[in-house]
Amino acid sequence: MKVLVVDDEPLVRRSLEKALVHRGHQVVQAADGRAGMDVWISEKPDLIFLDILMPGLSGLQVLKELGPRKTGKVVLMSAYSGVHGQETVQQMGADLFVAKPFDDILEVVKKAEGLIA
């Protein structure tokens, strides 16, 4: 499947891509919210890893602006673990929340794959 990774941290994008490719997925990347939104609309990915805190548009703003044009399942990532519970994540239009840092990146990928099944 087609996976979009939106994060301003290159190492995060790179490691997620590596893990996803390893699992046999096609990966597209975006380094900020604005670019991520453009790719999202043009590529229509099945799964999106979206960072919350980014310069320019934040992950939440991206979701808001996208509105009905949103496709695929969304995994929100943030270091603000305590603040966003599962419930609010769904209210924001996401499907899963993953706290940074990841304890095990492969676990994260597996959880995300589970959304599609």
Partner 1 sequence: MATPENPHRILWTDSDNEALAAAKRLLKGTAWELVTSDSYEKALKQVGNGPFAVVVAGQPASGERGLEFLERVRALNPSVSRIVSAEQPTRAMVERAINEAAVFRIIEKPLDKSDVVKSLAEAVQHHVTSFDQKMLLREVSRQNKELEGLKQGLERMVADRTKSIKASKAEVERKQKRIRATIRFVKELALTAHLDDLFVLIRKELRVQRRVSDPILGYYSPEQKARLLFFRGSQVLEKQCANEPWPAIDQVKTNSQSVRKFLADQFGRPFGKVLSIPLKQRSSEKVTSVLFLEHGYSEDDLHDFLEYVMELLQPFSITLDRLLLAEDLRHTSVLWERTFDTIQDPVAIVNVDYDILRSNRHFSDRVTYGTCYKVFAGQESVCAGCPVGAALKAGKARRGEVRRGERIYQVHSYPILGSGEATATTVVNHYVDVTEARNLYSKAIQNEKMAALGVMAGHIAHELNNPLTGLRSLAQLLRKEVPAPVANDLAEVEKAAERSQRIIKNLLDFSQAGENSDAADTVSLNDIILKTLPMLKTAMRFHRSEIELTEDDNSIRVNPYMLQQVIFNLVNNACQAMENPGSIRITTSREEDRVCLYVRDTGPGIPESAMDRIFEPFFTTKPEGEGTGLGLSMSRQIIEKFGGAIQVTETGPQGTEFKVSLPAAKE
DSSP 15-82: HHHHHHHHTT-EEEEESSHHHHHHHHHHH--SEEEEESS-SSS-HHHHHHHHGGG--SEEEEEES-TT
List contacts with partner 1 (CB under 8 A): 7-16, 18-19, 22, 51, 53, 79, 82, 100-102, 104-106
HSE-CB at 29 with a 13 A cutoff on CA atoms is: 15
Closest contact distance (angstroms) between CB of 116 and partner 1 is: 21
Compare residues 2 and 100 and give the one whose CB is closer to partner 1.
100
Closest contact distance (angstroms) between CB of 26 and partner 1 is: 17
What single-letter amino acid sits at 114?
G
Closest contact distance (angstroms) between CB of 68 and partner 1 is: 30
Compare residues 70 and 89 and give the one whose CB is closer to partner 1.
89
Compare residues 1 and 105 and give the one whose CB is closer to partner 1.
105
Compare residues 16 and 70 and give the one whose CB is closer to partner 1.
16
Contacts (Cβ under 8 Å, ≥6 apart) of 112: 47, 49, 73, 75, 96, 98
Closest contact distance (angstroms) between CB of 18 and partner 1 is: 5
